[in-house]
Structure 1
Amino acid sequence: MADATFWQEAQVIFGNRISKKRTDCETHGQSETWFPLTPPEAVVFPETTEEVAALTKICAAHRVPLVGWGAGTSLEGHALAVAGGIVVDFSRMNRVLEVRAEDRLVRVQPGITREALNADLRATGLFFPVDPGANASLGGMAATRASGTTTVRYGSMRDNVAGLSVVLADGRVIRTGSGAAKSASGYDLTALMLGSEGTLGLITELTLRLHGQPEAVSSAVCAFERFEAAVETVQHVIQLGIEVARIEFVDEEIARIFNKMNGTALPETPHLMIEFHGSDAGVAEASERFGEVVAEMGGADFQWATTTEERNRLWKMRHGAYSACIASRPGCMGLVTDVCVPISRLAEAVAQARALIAAAGLTGPILGHVGDGNFHAILLLDRENPAELATAKTVAHDLAAMALAMGGTITGEHGIGLGKRAMMAEEHGQAWAVMGAIKAALDPLNILNPGKLVPQDGEMP
């Protein structure tokens, strides 16, 4: 608990930008999924890196925990203040600081969202491609090493962050990376911070890599009678090297929910949702080759989204799948799985996932960014039924164990947070202890997002 001296020192810096109001604390104690309300002691709204550094020094002196907060769209409870303390809301640090179009780089503050950034970049002919669906903040996306629907072509945050400014646990500010295309200079501290989920430092600035807006874009949706055929189609497309910008799978239950919630008339069978980027000739060639694979696998004719408005509606529907699933069962909450497997094991993994969910008697529509082997089961649960939540947690664990047995990972994009920390030892073994040693070296007082990601006392030898 913070003492009176702490509050006095923080008040000097932030004035009315530090809030203990119940509404603010509860807003910053919520999760989008099944985690219980966990309000912090207070919420702070910094506007500069210097303010974040000053706050961190005060917190270190008084041993008050600090948790970063972006747009609050994470699904694994990353930003919940489980040890109390202060939530640092970066929403006021939301500016584009510099566009270097000739280098295809942009420097931004962490609170800007990906949609706001791309709106700002529109006139440059460039865009930032990482699209997790939610209008997440760029700082949060970096902290969780996010990816999404476009990863199959453009990569994840790991591939699109060139450098960072980070406030460490003692208040020091470091810069990582550079504007160069590559570097062999020392430890890759940018990569270390990406995916650290706020346990090693607070990101206060990002330098991002940009891409040219494609000359031609073509989107379509294609139905299959069997999910095996849809997933195997994805495997063949990737193995043949056909360039797709997005290739998403939704099962028959998701198709039914889309029809109910969006007024569409999709066949209530598994679907692939596809998008191609490139030149007119390149998009036409990729579309033709893709169509040949679909025909061989027994897929139905494409429904093409031929205008920008139609494409936007298609992907808005896909990005809204989670909220549509929740709305389809009033009063429910979600537990979302996030396994990722080698593409050669994808069809087998989806089949096993469906069998596990059915055997448990749960409702769990499946969708995912299957072009990179990542898929999700949205387990829909009765909020008033703790036994159902316990069953869902068992299914989630079994799915993660399945992914590890196939040479995959327990999380393709959502990160660890609170929900998956118990499985870190199974995936990483002694490497998890090394992560704990890095945490202890950079944050010996354990004030940065404590209780997350790394081993706690006694968890590993």
Structure 2
Amino acid sequence: MPEPTQIADDLRGEFRGRLAFDAVRRMLYATDASPFQVAPFGVAFPEDAEDLAVLVRYCHEHALPLVPRGAGTGVAGESLGPGLVVDLSAEFRGILHVGADTATVEPGVVLAELNAALAKVGRRFAPDPASGASCTVGGMVATNASGGNAVRHGYTRDHVRGLGVVWDDGTRDALFSPGSPAATGLTVRTLTLVEGTAKLLRANRDLIHLARPQTPFNRCGYLLHDVLTDAGLDLPRLLCGSEGTLGFLTEATVATVPLAGGTCLALLGFPTLDAAVGAAADLHPFEPTAADLLDRRLLSLSGRGVDAVPPAVGAALLVAFEADTEREAAERAWGAVEKLKETHKLVVLAEPTCDPDGVARVRAVREAAVNGLYGIGRGPRPAAFVEDVGVPPAAVAEFLAGTQDVLKRFELSASFLVHALAGQVHTRPLIDLADPADRAKMWPVAEAVHALALALGGTVSTQHGTGIARTPWVERQYGPILPVFRELKRVFDPKNVLNPGKIIGPDPSRPAWPLRGAGQETGAGSLEPVVEGPAAPRASLLVWKETEPTAEAGKCSGCGDCRPRGGAARMCPAFTAAGLEEAAPRAMANLVRGHADLGSDDARPVVSRCVNCKMCRDECPSRVDVPRLMIEAKARRHADHGLDRVSWVLARADRLAAFASRLAPLSNAVLGNRPARWVIEKLIGLSRRRRLPSLAHQTFLRAARGERRGPVNPEAPKVAYFADTFANVFDPSVGAAAVAVLRHNGITVVVPQRQVGSGAAPLAQGDLETARELAVRNVRALADYARDGYRIVCSEPTAAMTLTQDYLLLLDDADAAAVAAATTELTTFLGGLHADGLLRTDFRPLNLELGHHVPCHLKALRGPVSGPGLLGLIPGITVQPIDVGCSGMAGPWGLAEANYDASLRAGRRMIEAFDRPGLLLGATECGSCRLQMQEGTGKRAFHPVQYLAHAYGLLPELGARLRSPLGELVSD
């Protein structure tokens, strides 16, 4: 195998993509959503199909193994290997064509992205894997993915009409199903493959037929029984499910289906798992799309969507129906429920509903149950190593009973999620991968469970790939047909360079798995040559009470849910902007878990991307506190190397703004001058393209110096108002409006004069010294108010989050805890007043249509979102929610020229939602989000409290600002 430097030299001038052989990137690609770990030789990022062909041709000539990878969401380890990992999710992201009933996409397109595009023309791609928000179409083709609706919509291979491929020698071709007008003009290499494969399949036709599993939902191994037809060899169908062992995918043409006219969901509870299985068998006449069976453990974790599950319910069926109309879907659903009521003992946990909100609530039960399993905390966690078994539906009860006996024998517990109509059983034993005793149980448990499935006429893989997890049992399942598999692999890949060790392994019976945390042999696939074991322990720079950095990072399952490119999840603005593995929160956790040198230059591209938005922490199924890990990592880098110039400026944004405000007329003139902005950009990195807010001639805190501590009315509620930088320096009318609205509602308000900026900016840069200094000053200014019963109210969600959450990472003292406990965000506080019937509603009509954006840090506070409801109290105001993603601004991060384009990409969905016709003004609680809303659309945006104050008649000057246009370089 050539050395990395030789590979780079050989490919220079031919391969346009990136190559990475450093320890950090090898670490990031050593894991996926499986429990396995194999460090690759390196990572390649080809730019397009031609570039990929150059790389494959070179690796074929030098016998360098290649491992194709999409989003890395597979749970069988199919995208892991000791060769060169080829990341096809980074550049291959184009939706090339959407036709009347087909779509052509590159392999890195995420399923949710494709379906969002198809929805515009009333279509969808039918297979629905659980990872649809992050899995790629290429990965779906490679694993022949299905999802819970396999009974109705089958597998991915049932929908593929054509594939673009690169063969093992670098030859490119376009493949189509037999009989297609496009299925002509094949290359010599492809014609040779067709001839050799057809000859092999004809010679073994009877054997292939006999080896087909009894269960109709099998995707283990090479699926050969239906690829040789009278019309010819269906190469696209053969490649589906081959896991990149036969060729590389460069594009896929897939059939689409109409969106369902009506979808209806119901949730039914049963006393036992067996009772639920028996009831599912009676659903077939009503043609449900899916019937997911959740065991008691999963139900106990659902937590939302329905009322508390009665103790008598031991299992539940979530049943989905699709039809041309809502009425037809509802009739089927109610018919099924009534039928099951007649013959089975059940509890209707959620009646059949076709209402979109009702459907979302029922679906939330399943999502919360599965995600809750991963967020159970420290110790044993669900491990995916026997979770993809399929048996004939009539044998599900027997298989479940036998599997439970196996688990009891090994003193393990597990959860069961069953696609009851298809006989697909997902068993997740709870395993502590850090415990050698638990690791030792995995192989014998897998041996017993898989043997049971095969004895019942089933398969070891129905949905999630063969990969590392199930390759050892392929020979057991197929027996005499394995030589056909081997010969097929030889025909397509004689040098065994394409994802070796999957489906056809070098030694399938080898009783060992490369488990995470188990240690690995030195050599190919080991991290030891580049990472010399665990780094020497270093004292943590943040406060860690419940856990510590390595243990926190170890909670990451690698599921890839932090890589969404569509759907409702916000997750990570950095990944949204870049689309690279190194930008995903999973990568950040892997960096810490792998004991990388967090201060190294190789680690910087990962560490520097975190903007402390907190969304990954709250949306992660495993509840990994990645922002905290990255603050720790940045702090270590800062301690070792200090800050670069731009980071230093961003960390001191509060102080620099406060200083500039003292010279407001001059500062505003400079900020509005193009040549001056060019100079500023070159000196300190502030983007000359960013429209900035003007600096106030008098800050809010200076204007409020006359305030005195203490209530005028001892019976009135008491509030200490914390303004933070935006309301203090850039738009004091936010602070004035906040105080005026509170007082209008009978609240006694004080403005502590010793308050300073919250410190969120230096904290996000890892400058703990500056952040801790500001935290100490603010805690001293606010602690007495907290102890005297004041609510500390912040108009800036970032400030509320910093005071309630981040100060506890910086200061381990009672005063900080008291301030955190007393702090709340302004609209949340006002929403509470309204809920208690205490908010005055003597508003004047405003007659405005507003687009309201919910900031990430408001979500991170984990409280109710009150802004839209408060605005809706004003007569004449219509509020259109635009809660479709992060704004991408991320505080001072979006001010830097280096981040300007990325910030707009990260906020694209929000900007597009705000830019639609009819919305002339915006509203959001976050100052930096308002900047981004204005930057992306040219429309003004204000804090909700400003609208409330104006409607109360307390802020008449806002009327003129509502009508005035934004400035070109400075907004006011």
Q: Which has the higher contact order (CA 8 A, sep 6+)?
A: 1
Partner of 2:232: 186
Aligned with residue 126 of structure 2, among 124, 129, 144: 129
Paired residues for 1:186-225 under 5 Å? 186-225=232-271
**Number of residue pairs matched?**
453
Distance apart, 1:78 and its partner CA: 0.6
Corresponding residue of 2:440: 390
Q: Distance in 1 between matches of 2:321 and 2:508?
A: 50
Change (3 A) 1:432 1:321: farther
Per-residue deviation, 1:458: 9.4
Output one character per residue of 1:114-149: Cα deviation in whole Å (capped at 9) or x when no partner.
111111111100011211101311101110111111
Give the unaligned 5+ runs of structure 2: 182-228, 511-972
* Offset at residue 184 of structure 1 (A): 4.3
Q: Does 1:57 pair with 2:107?
A: no
* Match in the other structure for 1:78: 78
Match of 2:355 among 307, 329, 335: 307
102, 110, 113: which one aligns with 1:116: 113
Q: CA 1:220 to 1:150, structure 2 compared with 1: closer, same or farther past 3 Å? A: same
Cα deviation 1:56-107 (Å, max 9, x = unaligned): 00111111111111111001111112x3334333332111111111xx1111
The CA deviation at 1:291 is: 0.9
8 Å contact 2:54–2:170 — kept in the other structure?
yes
2:31 match = 30
Structure 1 segments unaligned to the other structure (5+ residues) = none
1:174 corresponds in structure 2 to 173
The alpha-carbon deviation at position 412 of structure 1 amounts to 0.9
The answer to which of 383-392 and 443-452 deviates more is 383-392
Match of 1:444 in 2: 494
- The structure 1 residue matched to 2:345, chosen from 280, 298, 308, is 298
Name the structure with the higher strand share: 1
Q: Percent identity?
A: 29
- The residue type equivalent to 1:265 in the other structure is A
**Could you tell me which residue of structure 1 aligns to residue 378 of structure 2?**
330
Structure-1 separation of matches of 2:71 and 2:368 = 16
Find the counterpart in structure 2 of residue 354 from structure 1: 404
Q: How does 1:361-400 map to 2 (within 5 A)?
A: 361-400=411-450
What SS does the corresponding residue of 1:301 show, helix, strand or coil? strand
Residue by residue over 1:409-450, the C-alpha shift from the partner in whole angstroms, topping out at 9 and shown as x without a partner, is 111111210111111111001212211111111111111111
1:368, distance to aligned residue in structure 2 (A): 2.2
- What is the Cα deviation at residue 346 of structure 1? 1.5
Retained in 2: the 8 A contact 1:322–1:378? no
Q: CA deviation at 1:349?
A: 1.4
Report SS of the residue matched to 1:258.
coil
Question: What SS does the corresponding residue of 2:383 show, helix, strand or coil?
Answer: strand
The amino acid across from 2:346 in the alignment is G
Q: CA deviation at 1:311?
A: 2.3
**RMSD over aligned Cα atoms:** 2.3
1:193-248: CA deviations, max 9, x gaps? 1111111111111111111111111112111111111111112223xx32111210
Contact 1:34 1:334 in 2 (8 A): no
Q: Hey, what does 1:226 align to over in structure 2?
A: 272
Cross-structure match for 1:406:
456
Change (3 A) 1:21 1:320: farther
1:384 CA displacement: 1.9
Distance 1:62 1:320 in 2: 48
Range with bigger deviation, 183-192 or 127-136? 183-192
Residue of structure 2 equivalent to 1:248: 292
Cα 1:267–1:32 shift into 2, 3 Å: farther
- In structure 2, do the counterparts of structure 1 residues 55 and 317 end up closer, same or farther at CA, with 3 Å as the change threshold? farther
Deviates more, 1:356-365 or 1:419-428: 356-365
Residue 292 of structure 2 contacts residue 419 of structure 2 at CA under 8 Å; is this kept in 1?
yes
Q: Residue 39 and residue 291 in structure 1: after superposition, are their counterparts in 2 closer, same or farther (change >3 A)?
A: same
Distance 1:137 1:331, change over 3 A: farther
> Which residue number in structure 2 is paired with residue 265 of structure 1?
308
Is 1:274 matched with 2:319? yes
Q: Give 1:233's aligned amino acid.
A: A
Taking the aligned partners of 1:459 and 1:225, their CA distance within structure 2 comes to: 41
Tell me, in whole angstroms, the C-alpha distance in 1 between the residues paired with 2:360 and 2:178: 32
Query: Contact 1:219–1:306 (CA<8 Å) still a contact in 2?
Result: yes
TM-aligned CA distance change 1:392 to 1:458, over 3 Å: closer
Q: Which has the larger radius of gyration?
A: 2
Q: 1:121 to 1:179 in 2, by over 3 A?
A: farther
Aligned to 2:157: 158
TM-score, normalisation: structure 2: 0.45
Q: Is the 8 A contact 1:11 1:18 kept in 2?
A: no
TM-score by length of 1: 0.92
| 1:5-39 deviation per Cα after TM superposition (whole angstroms, max 9, x unaligned) | 42223343445622223332211111223213x22
Do the aligned partners of 1:362 and 1:392 also contact (CA within 8 Å) in 2? no
Q: 2: CA distance between counterparts of 1:175 and 1:143?
A: 16
Tell me the distance in 2 between the aligned counterparts of 1:264 and 1:43: 48
Within 1, Cα distance between the matches of 2:338 and 2:178?
Answer: 42
Q: Is the 8 Å Cα contact of residues 179 and 231 (structure 2) preserved in structure 1?
A: no
Q: Which stretch has the larger CA shift, 384-393 or 2-11?
A: 2-11
List per-residue Cα deviations over 1:321-347 (Å, max 9, x = no partner).
Answer: 544212214244433221101111122
Higher mean Cα deviation, 198-207 or 390-399? 390-399
Return the alpha-carbon distance in structure 1 between the equivalents of residues 103 and 70 of structure 2.
19
User: Match for residue 99 of structure 1?
Assistant: 98
Q: Matches of 2:172 and 2:492 in 1, distance apart?
A: 12
SS in 2 for 1:56: helix
Corresponding residue SS for 2:13: helix
- 2:118 touches 2:124 (CA, 8 Å); kept in 1? yes
| Deviation digits for residues 272-300 of structure 1 (CA, Å, limit 9, x no counterpart) | 11111112342133113311332111111
Contact 1:28 1:80 in 2 (8 A): yes
SS at match of 2:152: helix
Question: Contact 1:338/1:411 (CA < 8 Å) preserved in 2?
Answer: yes
Alignment partners' CA distance in 2, 1:281 and 1:86: 49
1-structure distance, mates of 2:241, 2:54: 24
- In the alignment, what sits opposite 1:283? 329
Following TM superposition, by how much is the alpha carbon of 1:47 offset from its aligned partner in structure 2, in angstroms?
A: 2.8
The aligned amino acid for 1:94 is R
Check whether the contact 1:257–1:325 (CA below 8 A) recurs between aligned residues: yes
Q: Which amino acid aligns with 1:58?
A: Y
Q: C-alpha distance in 1, partners of 2:382/2:140? A: 21
Q: Which residue of 2 aligns with 1:318?
A: 366
Distance 1:264 1:10 in 2: 61
Q: In the aligned structure 2, how far is the partner of 1:47 from the partner of 1:455?
A: 30
